[in-house]
Amino acid sequence: MMKSPNTLHMQFTQGFNKMSISKGCLYIGAVIAALISILIFINVNAELQQISTVETVTERSTLASDLYNATIEMSLERSVMQVTLNLDDPIAPEFKALLESQRTKANDGFNHFFEHIQGKSDFLSMAESTKKHKKRIGEIRQLADKQLQLPLARRDATLVKTLPEQLKAEISAIEREVKQLTFTQAAVVNSLDALLEIQRFGWLI
């Protein structure tokens, strides 16, 4: 039995509508899948950035800790140096031992710093600067040791006065270097700086 034109038209229309709906569903599904992929990418990228930020904060905090430890030990070394340079007699064994102990502790801080900074290209400039400060500190120590072997009457009065000041200047310069450990992530800068200051005051106490 032949179908009427109206029946054929209705069947064609229904079939076309079904095809259109199917295509529309596929299109919507593709759009949703794309949006989900974008959201997943954004979330993964955010997680990676957070991990990178945490790693950066940890690295910089470690480096700051190493150098602050060194400066704290050198501060006591400077005090002992200043006192002994103004005593009448050559340095006594107990003061010499105290100086050596403080220098060892300070050098440990420097050594840890250079171990932690090795292979980190972001900190090459700071590593070079710290090496220069450490070299200068070594020179100050050598000059102080030569003066401390002599009685006060034979010491260079200028060096007696300036050597502790020179060591203090190197300590201050290193502390300024540490404070230059800033971060590109603006959200963590203030918080981290505050934490580093708290750490520093804790070590000073």
- pLDDT per residue as tens digits for the range 1-27: 544 555 544 554 555 445 554 555 455
137 membership: H or E segment, kind and range: helix 124-148
Task: Let me know: does 127 contact 117? Beta carbons within 8 Å.
Answer: yes
User: Which pLDDT score is estimated for 54?
Assistant: 42
User: Which pLDDT score is estimated for 155?
Assistant: 97
Mean pLDDT of the chain: 75
pLDDT tops 80 at residue 143: yes
User: Which pLDDT score is estimated for 38?
Assistant: 59
pLDDT class of 139 with cuts at 50, 70, 90: very high
Query: What are the contacts of 58-61 at 24+ separation with CB within 8 A?
Result: 59/116, 59/120, 60/181, 60/183, 60/192, 61/192, 61/195, 61/196, 61/199
User: Which pLDDT score is estimated for 52?
Assistant: 45
Radius of gyration of the chain (CA): 35
For the segment 91-106, the average pLDDT, to the nearest whole number, is: 95
For the segment 67-84, the average pLDDT, to the nearest whole number, is: 93
Q: What is the pLDDT of residues 50-60, one digit of tens each?
A: 434 445 667 77
User: Which pLDDT score is estimated for 45?
Assistant: 47
pLDDT tops 60 at residue 189: no
